[in-house]
Structure 1
Amino acid sequence: MKVVCFGEIMGRLNPPGYQRFVQAREFEISYAGGEANVAVSLANYGVDASYVTKVPANDIAKSALRELKAHDVDTSDVVIGGERLGLYFCEKGASQRASKVIYDRKYSAISMAEQSDFDWNKILDGADWFHFTGITPALSDNCAAICLDAVKAAKAKNITVSCDLNFRKNLWTSEKAGKVMAGLMEYVDVAIANEEDCEKVFGIKAENTDITGGTLSKDGYIKVAETLSKKFNIPTVAITLRGSISASDNNWAAMLYQNGDVFFSKNYLIRIVDRVGGGDSFGGGLIYALREGYNGQDAIEFAVAASCLKHTIEHDFNEATLDEVKNLMGGDGSGRVQR
């Protein structure tokens, strides 16, 4: 059985190291996208992962697909057409200077896709899991309709559906996000969010929490997960808990709400190399653990350990191995040289 991930893949352009955009005389290119990052994580753990999108018929798009194939992700259901591959520029922050992202994705091939581009009955044949994020329906009204087609087809086939809310204020308003995502969430079995997503999309706020100050209330997030679960009848809700000390140092943990039971992971103090894609690596780890039948505590520990390691890796894809994740999950976070 396979996991199918649907969304937009983009070219990522960043200055070398920690240079600012205004200092850059050259940019490194890699490829990324919320659901593509999840697919790569899953393939890296040995899962049969398929990625679905629409890209133009040019060499830049070909390079993006080649990168996915190099990570053992199946791209056979990718639709070819449209005018351009979306881009985003990433300036990595350090210490008290925040990271910065600038999008250049308007009129990308996937944002201009039509519902008729995707035969979901065929695409989902042989799948037991479908994953998307709140970024994809935000790209256009057509993309929102395509996502609805996909989750309806998945439910008709009794396929587990996961969604990372991933609210992006540059793509749509909270009001539109709430309306569109409410229609999609009724088909979701596993919801993933961070400290802000539930509030920005559905107005569900954690009490006694100050994200900027790094104060997170466990009771507040249990209530958030419980409210989201009951509102849309979602059995499993995972919320990442990031305590941002600075752009370079974060506390990182998560909670899992599963049919009324609550599990909190251990906390990691991370010295960050590249945090972009960190949430996606958490999603990939969680999907892997749940599909493998891990109990609630082990599932959230695996997902957080996977994401912790991603924060130490350049670019969006999580290149951590399954053994590395399991070792960290088991308590080996010493960072000693492996010989």
Structure 2
Amino acid sequence: MTVYGFGEVLLRYTPPDYEQLKDAGTFKVNVGGAELNALVTLAQFGHPTEILTVLPNHALGHLALQKMFQTRVGTSFIKYNNGRVGTYYMEESFGFRSGKVIYDREHSTFAEHGASVMNDINAQNGDYFVFTGITLAVNKAIRRQIVDVLAHLKEKGVKIVFDINFRSNLWDKEEAVPVIKSILPLVDVLFLGKKDATHLLETNALDDDMKTCAKTIQSQYDIALMASSNRNIEQSTLQGIILTKDDYIESQAYAYTVLNRIGAGDAFMAGVLHGLNKGWQLGETVDFATKCSVLQHTTNEDALNVQESDVFNLSTHFGALKR
């Protein structure tokens, strides 16, 4: 079983010490991207992975490659083209000051040439194909081809994994909804948030709970498994859910402290896919995935880069020291 991730690899520029972007003199550079983040975690858990993307063949493209080499993510299907790496600038939140993201990814190598990678997808029966709404947002050619590509993969027995991951500063709702709706009937494992049901797809009322929202979408699109990681901002807790046609399972609600919000959903996705591939019970799977998300909040990286045992050994109280 190989997990293929199809999407753009990004460089994140973040000022140190919670500085605002307007005051920044230096930046820390991270390599990330939703699909790559999930693959990094899965690779640490021992799964074969392959990133499907396009990079420029220059120093910044090589920086991204080096991250993949370090984390054992497969690079056999990467294509190279002249151009630039997609980037974004992140101002971290502090106290009551909200964070801020400024994207600079138009005309990147993936935005211009990403659709060409779909011709080389070599997934087989039992493999997973992972992508997100962000991938659809940055490349119009991919949007035109994606339904045919997914249908072909499903015929081969590949499991389709989709995270809606709607970003309003990448594409608008009117453009996104028809594309997402065309994809959902082909999806085997769907990751979503409550607002995807109430605000984006408008399948549910605002006062519907997560269980109701998930069941509505599942019944409408016949999706085998759905999962979500839900933050309670007031209580600073994180709780995962998994819904199948027979079960609705909630994890324990874990208290979390935020050092970094980037990649928490991607870590949750990796945890769910890990549990599914290990054949765990769904309760164990969603609990493990939620712990992955909690741990990712404690790192400064875009992807959770830990061993399975580190997740199982999540501290039961703040500031524990293992000796």
Structure 1: which amino acid aligns with 2:88? Y
In structure 2, relative to structure 1, the CA distance for the partners of 1:66 and 1:90 (3 Å cut) is same
SS at match of 2:17: coil
Q: CA shift at 1:206, angstroms?
A: 5.5
Q: CA shift at 1:125, angstroms?
A: 4.1
TM (norm. structure 2) is 0.94
Match of 2:233 in 1: 244
Correspondence 1:75-224 to 2 at 5 A: 75-113=75-113, 115-120=115-120, 122-125=121-124, 128-205=127-204, 207-208=206-207, 220-224=209-213
Match of 1:319 in 2: 305
Match of 2:294 in 1: 308
Deviations 1:189-239, CA, capped at 9 Å, x for gaps: 01001232233431134643xxxxxxxxxx711111111111111011112
SS at match of 1:111: helix
Q: CA shift at 1:146, angstroms?
A: 4.4
SS at match of 1:240: strand
The count of residues paired between Structure 1 and Structure 2 equals 323
Structure 2: which amino acid aligns with 1:301? D
In structure 2, relative to structure 1, the CA distance for the partners of 1:164 and 1:333 (3 Å cut) is farther
2 CA distance for matches of 1:12 and 1:53?
17
Contact 1:37 1:277 in 2 (8 A): yes
2 CA distance for matches of 1:114 and 1:332?
43
Structure 2: which amino acid aligns with 1:252? L
Deviations 1:138-175, CA, capped at 9 Å, x for gaps: 11221213433432232021111111100000111112
**Larger helix fraction of residues:** 2
> Which ranges in structure 2 are unaligned for 5 or more consecutive residues?
none
2 CA distance for matches of 1:127 and 1:145?
26
SS at match of 1:107: coil
TM (norm. structure 1) is 0.90
Contact 1:115 1:145 in 2 (8 A): no
SS at match of 2:236: strand
Correspondence 1:286-297 to 2 at 5 A: 286-297=272-283
Give the alignment partner of residue 253 of structure 2, picking from 262, 267, 273: 267
* 1:228 correspondence with 2:214: no
Q: CA shift at 1:186, angstroms?
A: 1.4
Match of 1:40 in 2: 40
SS at match of 1:118: helix
2 CA distance for matches of 1:125 and 1:16?
43
Match of 1:337 in 2: 321
Q: CA shift at 1:79, angstroms?
A: 1.0
Q: CA shift at 1:14, angstroms?
A: 0.2
Match of 1:56 in 2: 56
RMSD (Å) for aligned C-alpha atoms: 1.8
SS at match of 2:209: helix
2 CA distance for matches of 1:272 and 1:26?
22
- Deviating more after overlay: 86-95 vs 189-198: 189-198
SS at match of 2:16: coil
Tell me the percent identity.
29
Structure 1: which amino acid aligns with 2:168? K
Contact 1:82 1:112 in 2 (8 A): no
* 1:281 correspondence with 2:274: no
Structure 1: which amino acid aligns with 2:60? I
1 CA distance for matches of 2:110 and 2:83?
10
- The structure 1 segments of at least 4 consecutive aligned residues displaced by more than 6 Å after TM superposition are none
Structure 1: which amino acid aligns with 2:216? T
- Deviating more after overlay: 122-131 vs 107-116: 122-131
Structure 2: which amino acid aligns with 1:69? F
Deviations 1:124-149, CA, capped at 9 Å, x for gaps: 14761111011111112212134334
In structure 2, relative to structure 1, the CA distance for the partners of 1:127 and 1:286 (3 Å cut) is same
SS at match of 2:5: strand
In structure 2, relative to structure 1, the CA distance for the partners of 1:4 and 1:117 (3 Å cut) is closer
